[in-house]
Structure 1
Amino acid sequence: MDDKNKKPGNAWTKSLLIWVGVLFALVLFAQMLDGGSRAQAGNSVAYSDFVRQVEDRNVKQVTIASTSSGNQLITGKLANGESFRTTAPADAQVTERLVQRGVQVQAKEAEQSSFWLILLYQSMPFLLILGISFFIMRQMQKNAGSGAMGFGKSRAKVLTPKEGRVTFADVAGIDEAREELQEIVEFLKDPGRFARLGGKIPKGALLVGSPGTGKTLLARAIAGEAGVPFFTISGSDFVEMFVGVGASRVRDMFAEAKKSAPCIVFIDEIDAVGRHRGAGLGNGNDEREQTLNQLLVEMDGFEANEGIIIIAATNRPDVLDPALLRPGRFDRQVMVPRPDIEGREQILAVHMKKVPLAPDVDGRVIARGTPGFSGADLANLVNEAALLAARRGKRLVAAQEFDDARDKVMMGAERRSMVMTEDEKRMTAYHEAGHALVFAHEPTADPIHKATIIPRGFALGMVQPLPERDSYSYHRDKMHADLAVAFGGRVAEELIFGHHKVSSGAQSDIQQATRLARAMVTKWGMSDALGPLDFSEGDETPTGYFAPQQKRMSGETIKLIDSEVKRFVEGGLERARQILTDHVDQLHLIAKALLEFETLTGEEIKTLLAGGSIDRGSSARPIFPTAGAGIPKTRRPGAIGGAAPAGA
């Protein structure tokens, strides 16, 4: 693991030197193949031409040297000063002829090559091939492990206490999980305190929670608070295509961890290696199960791993092997849930410290409008709000940016380029006005946050509620109110435009209402005809609810379930029709305001229903164009619009 902590600059310099050495060897090899011909000066001429030049007395001087083949290498200069060279057969008459023609002749002894130089020349190609092969193999092994034959080396990275330090002050919204892990920190700081009373610290803690809830952040906070080395690795880093590599990496990781004890070993996404044995294809000798077996032995085998605490994270605890979850390995399973409204407010406060906020930003209001958001979702929300403010040229991030950022995260960006006709725009306004009006007249429904006819994602508009608090259970009256809200848009279209002009905009509303009604009948015992029985057993369908098993229910029971679901859905439809019929003047009022302003807040809708008016001055402006001459009309079939009712 020490090799993994080397500075990137040293590794880059080392690689550069290796490549320079390879290039130097290639150049040297090219010079060897050249045969030294470039060392000889002058132009090469044929021997017959050389003889003719001698007869014409055009040769001034020559140097004659013997070659290893027995011939003579003749170099020299012509009368005009031009250099030349040629190879002549071994003949004593050549020298005599040159002397007779007045040519200055010099003799040069043949060079005797050294034995070691000859050996070097002959072995250089093989050495070059071996060097390049070794370099390629070394790079391949570095990618697979660390160094030569490093396939079985651990890939765990060491996070020292001084770099990337995170403390419990950086963790908000999950107080219960943090308190459960506080004991581990105290043990790492003062192990003797627990040993004196005969207590043993848990050997491992399994963090279970949805993605983005802060499991990895919690593990880093433990290391930061305790001030001990922190080894981190992913479960997928153990498994390779070669049998036995994963088990070797587990052994190497624990061997390195023992040298740094006390320390923490964090295994992220442990379900990649800890799945139930025998549940998949193959037998118990495959690579993944060998790796799991070695991990089980290292965590609680014959050799004690004192001072090593294993922390793992997963969002799939149901697939883990039971041997991995028993006491002595993962003694504790710490649930890391999605934060409630108080937790979301605390998380937002942590992330908002880095952002300049306008005075109108209220963390409590933002927390109310983000039910179900995880810590990662809230961090993304704050970042999106900051990006929006920067794009608009603002110096502070205001509440409007947070509101727009939440809509973008939940439903997508505004589709400003979408072209709609006046009829489609008018129908969308009445559809959303119907939802908003039923919301306002249902006592148990959530308060309205805003209504808009600006398209987002696949929706042509929406009505967004703002719950006062998080709901952990639903009541019968609230469910019937949600059914009525779901059909407010469809009923409004039918009342204003007629039965034959009802659009496909209520597709999502119908799906959610049907899902809610079926859950009320089959899961929650809300039907008087069926009683408090559970009929939800079966496979979940793509629409989200459970299809009853035919073997466990009679045909009459299935028909009764379908009739009760239909009765509940039609009850919500009639409830919405009654509200909109009694307050049709208010429906026109809200729809007209949506056509004018395109977005209304909950307070503005209350003002309209109370007989007041909205005056924004020049702020009313169209967000998307209207179809005209030569502009194609684009509307996706089945586009959804309206508020999403609370359901199963």
Structure 2
Amino acid sequence: GVLIVGERGTGKTSLALAIAAEAKVPVVEVKAHQLEAGLWVGQSASNVRELFQTARDLAPVIIFVEDFDLFAGVRGQFIHTTKQDHEAFINQLLVELDGFENQDGVLLMATTRNLKQIDEALKRPGRMDRVLHLQRPTQMEREKILQFAAKETMDKELIDFVDWKKVAEKTALLRPIELKLVPLALEGSAFRSKFLDTDELMSYCSWFATFSSTIPKWLRRTPIAKKISKHIVNHLGLTLTREDMQQWSMETKFPHAVWAAGRGLITLLLPNFDIVDNIWLEPTAWEGIGCTKITKAKNEGSVNGNVESRSYLEKKLVFCFGSYIASQLLLPFGEENFLSSSELKQAQEIATRMVIQYGWGPDDSPAIYITSKAMYDLGYDKAREMLLKNRKVLEKIVEQLLEFENLTGEDLINILNENGGIREQEPFFLSKSYYSELTSDGAMDDNGNGAALNLLGTTV
């Protein structure tokens, strides 16, 4: 037997089918539900016997199994009766692979993403001991894959406009199955950058839809028809140039740059909060994946060491909305940035925890849902207010990040000061009633924390 190991999308199945095609041998593809246990004990082992018996009758043949770790997991991990049939399945598979019967002309070929999840007995010599590891393609291999895919999907006149070496450098994190989509994405990105008269474009599209069925294919391929089509494209302003094809990275990077800039700026604006070390766009990523490194400040916004105060949690709630508000301000109308979804979920968790677990809310409302939603809305409104006051700073950070792909904490502070950024000051509380209560008791210190917070039950 042969095991092909690699990540999803690295071409394991394609390699197996290519081997079969080169050997000119038929392939029997086996699905999980065809071998799994049924109503009777020992049915999966019986299925294996029948499979190999049928394969011997059809020899030469290749038995191909995808995601082999789903079939042949490690034995001895389950003691429940419902899992005991798995042990019998592995034992029967070992019997077939050991070749007590003549197995000439029968080859078991399987793919897996995790070699460690397969039972060790199956990988011993004489069984499935031939292992092929598929790695992600190198830069040269990526360039060849991109050029091959471009010939199938792109306009031939545009292929030479693209610097495929540069594209290959920016697609180090993509798998072969994803690389095939890149050329089409490049062309689509260039078209989206064009400014069009929508009404005129729709009128032409309706005209083409009306007459396309009546014009024969041979007429469309004539030089005159091609010349007319090219004239219409030029008239609509859809002709792509070399410069258009070189701007592909900006559109894909922009949402990631906005996401990272929003997180970095909101952290910088919050007083006595976490520290922004740097924000960057991953240089080897096709999308220019945005990254931020933010270090939690020690003993800031807390009462006792790592114990978080209400002030710190409210700042953290506001922080969760930074990237989402930045996307609302800078992305085109109607375009949603899904990069912020996890942070919005975290904001809901923080607001709910503050109300349900600690009893902190903007008012004394007994309705838990209304109170937690009110805290969530307060965090959103405060984050929006802060970024609206510093929109110029946000735009400058995004611009610098797209140009240099890496900004340190000092760079962000310089941009903030040079563009008139407005930071929040202590004391920082979302709930005005809670702030009034603290100030009336004289319990505030210089950092916005209360010396008497423990007495108010505000420690976590």
Relative to the length of structure 1, the TM-score reads: 0.35
Larger Rg: 1
Higher relative CO (CA 8 A, sep ≥ 6), structure 1 or 2? Answer: 2
Relative to the length of structure 2, the TM-score reads: 0.48
From the two aligned structures, give the one with the greater helix fraction: 2
